[in-house]
Each structure stands twice: as C-alpha cells, then as structure tokens.
Amino acid sequence: MKNLLLPICLFLSCSLPQQRTYGVLAKNGMVVTAHPEATRVGAEILQRGGTAVDAAIAVQFTLAVVYPGAGNLGGGGFMVIRKADGQTATLDFREKAPLGASRAMYLDSAGNVVENMSTRGHRAAGVPGTVDGMVQAYERFGTMPFAELVQPAIDLARNGFVLTKLEAEKFTGVQSELRRYNTQPSALVQSSGWKPGDTVVLADLSHTLERIRDHKRDGFYAGTTAAFIISEMQRGKGIISKEDLQRYRAVWREPLVGMYKHYRIISMGPPSSGGTALLQLLASAEPYPIASWGWNSTQTVHLMAEAERRVYADRAAHLGDPDFYTVPVATLTSAAYNRTRMANFSLHRATPSDSIRAGVITSTESEETTHFSIVDKWGNAVAVTTTLNSSFGSMVVVGGAGFLLNNEMDDFSVKPGVPNIYGLVGGEANSVQPEKRMLSSMTPTIVEKDGALFMVVGTPGGSTIITSVFQTILNVAEHGMSMQEAVIAQKFHHQWRPDILYYEAKTFGSTTVQALRELGHHPQQREPIGRVDAILVRKDGTLEGAADPRGDDKAEGVE
C-alpha cells in the first residue's frame, strides 16, 4: 500500500496543478471512511478474507461508536452493491414515519410550522432502519460470522476510543443541546467539555451492540433494546411505538441505472432523490463540451448550475417514497426529458429560479451524513451513505441503550412549500404519512467504464450531496483528475431555491466570480462542501482510495 497524497495546498487553487496528486494505492482491497478507526476495522475484515459487504457491515457498526454525529444505530441510509460478476443490488434502510405520525404534526393551530419540533427532541425521530439493513445485507451477501463483524465496534465502545481534534470540537459543541433534550444522563456529556486525546467509553452502547451481535434483528427491535426505546419515547413524549419497531423492514429495491457517455452509473432510486437527480444532471450536461471548456471555468460552472436549478425544482415536486407515491423516474432520467428541461438554457444568461418550475410529467441533509466506499480483492464493491440527518440527529440518546436517535422527520415536507433545515423545498409527494419513508439526498454510486468496475463514490452534505457526487464524477471523466484530485477539488452548489450559487473558498478566481455575476448568478462563499470518500480502479487494476481532507477521513488498502 502506498500513500501518495501530496500537500493539499498543491490543489487548493482555481487551476489544475502541474504536479499530480494521488491517494492511497493498493491491489487487493480498499476501504475509505470518515474515521480512521472505522477504516482500520474495515481493512482488517478484508485482510481476514471478508467481502466488501462484510467490511461494510463492520464499518457501519464501528461508525455508530466512533462517529456518533452521523454513524448510527438509530438512523438509516442506503447501500449500493456491485458484485464482481456485474450483478447489482440496492438496499433501502431509510427510516420511516411512526404509525402515530400525521401530516400536520409539526404545525400549530394556525397552520404554521413549530420551530425545532421536527429537528430536535423525541418527536423528530423516525423509526430507525440501520440495524435491520445490516442484518438483511448480511443474510443475503455476508460470508464471515456475523458476531465477528460486530465485535470490533463492541470492543471500541467498551474499552474506549480516542477523540480526534475535529470530533472533540463536535462533541463539545453539542453539550448544551444534549443536556437540554435528554431525559437521562449520557456518556456523551462531560461537564468540562471534551479535548483531543480524551478517551470516550460508551458502556451502554457496548451492551446494545452485544445484543445485536447475539440476536441480530431481535437484539434491537425486540427485547431489552426495544424496551429502552419505548421507555425513552414515553419520557420524552415521542411517538415511536413497539408496533413501529416490530413492523420496520429494510427494502431491497431495483438499482437505478443510466449512462453518461461510455460510463454506466449505478445508484439509488427513491426514496432517495440522489440517483434520479444525478442521472438528470449527467443527462443535462452530456451534450456540452465540458472538457474543452475546462474545470470550474465560467462556462462549465454556468452550465452545471443551470442544470442543478432545474433538477432541484423537479426534486421538490416529483420525488417521494415510491411505496406511497408514483415517482416518474423513467421520465425524469430520460435524455429526451432533460433536453426539454434544458431547452431554455442560454450560454449567455442565468435563468432566475423564480421563473423555473418543475417539469410537466405526462407519465403516471448541518450536513452530517457519512459515506464509505469499499472494494475487496475479488472486485466486489459497496457504496453506503448513512445518517442521523443533522449532526447528532435529534440530540436524544436512548436511555440505557446509549445510541442517538435521528431527526429525519425534518426530511419530510412538514408543510409543503416550506424549506427544511437545508433550505430544500418539498411538495405533496414528500408529505408526512404513517410508515412512509422521507425523501433523501443521499447518493451512494458505483460507476462502470466499458463494462468493468471504475469508481465507488459518495459523500455527506445534506442538499449538497447530489451536486458533490456529480462534480466528482465529472472531475475524473471529463477533466482527467486522479481520484484524490477529484475529491480535494473545490466544490460549488445550486439547489434552485434560494437562488444562490454557493462555493467554497478558492473555488473561483475573482474574474470568474464577476463573470458569473454578469451572467445573472448570485455567487456566495460558504463553508466546505461535502466530504467525498471514493475509490477509483486505475488502468493497471490498482485501486486508488481517496479520503477527503475536509475531515478525519482515511483510506487504507490491502496488499
């Protein structure tokens, strides 16, 4: 394994560097996650002969311990799998609205949204899907003993793990909210705050993981852990019931597949909007000479932003849980439809968002998510994006069980037309209904080139997830970047409303910013966008693992 990552400053400029930057290189497997301990655990599973799915399960449980702001037992997510023989599968372990949920549950008597009710506290939580998802993934694709995949997380929770500087800052930053919203003491709360190098011991969580190790699904959705969840709901006036836990099941869905030139894109369909939107964006951009225009040039950014505002308008109107709403995926992702959407695109002028509406269909997520990418020595690949929604979710730790609950109910349109915490606007397709899955932006994606595995990619970032994956793919496919260069490269984002073109520091030079303003865009600098973790299969078959330096992310290969 070789780590060829050069100093980040070589790439943080608005032009491509003369000296190339590469990530971690290995021949027999690669794991890229948001936390060094999770990466270590995943790589050890691969070294012991486990598959990419085995490693993904172990990583998911480990992240629930060492990365509790987004790694989770009390949340949900999506898994995209491509086996070495080309077979694909996608698993939806997204949370569901409790049976006691109703479309007006977050509105006051005047019909206005009650501040924080869908984002903080017990009523913000949907029924968790992660544990059932990992059990189902194991039962279909797992090869190692299940207990061996959970044990590393148990050991870390019981014996403790050391806080990084970034995680210590996050832990300290949520202390007041954890005190406010919890009904019982939590090991995540420390009166003096947290410092880098502190050891965190999560004894209650270790016992919950032991029950999952020994009883799989019943170790969470029944018995002691379920009783802890119901008691927590009763203390905090939440609405998740015993029946909700018994009824929850993750769902295997048909992979969403499309083409971009000679690349085959395999991603997640609804209730994730990510795959649909990604295929729309790629279809919208494909007719234009992006490579000759250049990376982050005025023309390239203008085109991509114009495509993004149209796609996010469609997302607001047409995307939702396919078990409750007929989502016109085939139409939305067709080349003909997206040509129609881009028909009024002008190279010389931005289209004001107020003048853009969702297309007419004639056929019947702070941004604390986390993503990890894994490829094993046989060429099996897994992309998983998982979340509690915002950082540390609802801020509620289940008393006696030691894990955080999500605040995914805010991903519904709690009132159609009113933005959520990420500024995303939704409609009736994503309204609150019992047992419905809320719409997501998560975009775990696997890319083939000429029929062979080429890339595994995804990112956290709430509403910016889709556009970050879009840019990362084009950075490699059109601009010839290495995987690490594509991950490091500065990102920008447009989501229709608000009508703002967000960008990271140093993404554009002052001349480009001015040119974009003259075209009618409204550029606005913001904090870093996304934390892409990705793997590229190079021409010689070597795997390049690229971890995003915006966080503690780490890539580790197997020789």
How is the chain split into domains, by residue range?
34-77+92-249+368-430, 253-362+443-557
Instruction: Give one DSSP letter per residue of 361-392, joined into a string.
Output: P-------EEEEEEEETT--EEEEEEE-SSTT
Residues of the chain with pLDDT under 70: 1-18, 358-367, 415-427
| Strand order through the sheet with 501-503 | 492-493, 501-503, 523-525
Integer angstrom CA distances of residue 110 from 116, 403, 447: 17, 35, 48
> What is the rounded (10 degree) CA torsion for 262, 268, 269, 275?
-50
Residues composing the chain: 559
Burial classification of residue 486, based on how many CB atoms lie within 10 Å of its CB (0-12 exposed, 13-18 middle, 19 or more buried): buried
- Which one, of 458, 413, 410, lies nearest residue 268 by Cα? 458
Does residue 369 have an active-site annotation?
A: yes
CB neighbours of residue 202 within 10 Å? 25
Q: Identify the helix (H) or strand (E) that includes residue 26.
A: strand 24-26
Q: What angle do CA 173, 497, 366 make, to 5 degrees?
A: 10
Q: What is the pLDDT of residue 420?
A: 55
Q: How many H helices and E strands in the chain?
A: 18, 20
Q: What is the pLDDT of residue 18?
A: 61
- Terminal Cα-to-Cα distance of the chain (whole angstroms): 6
- Which one, of 333, 310, 192, lies nearest residue 255 by Cα? 333
Q: What is the pLDDT of residue 415?
A: 67
In which residue are the tokens 């580790």 written? 556
Q: What is the pLDDT of residue 363?
A: 36
Which of helix, strand or coil describes residue 4?
Answer: coil
For residues 24 and 42, is the Cβ–Cβ distance under 8 A? no
CATH homologous superfamily of 253-362+443-557: Gamma-glutamyltranspeptidase, small (S) subunit (3.60.20.40)
Q: Which two tokens stand for residue 104?
A: 């007006």
Which of helix, strand or coil describes residue 455?
Answer: strand
For residues 489 and 471, is the Cβ–Cβ distance under 8 A? yes
Q: What is the pLDDT of residue 302?
A: 98
Q: How far apart are CA 267 and CA 278, in angstroms?
A: 8
Q: How far apart are CA 303 and CA 291, in angstroms?
A: 12
Catalytic residue among 298, 333, 369, 443: 369
pTM check: above 0.85: yes
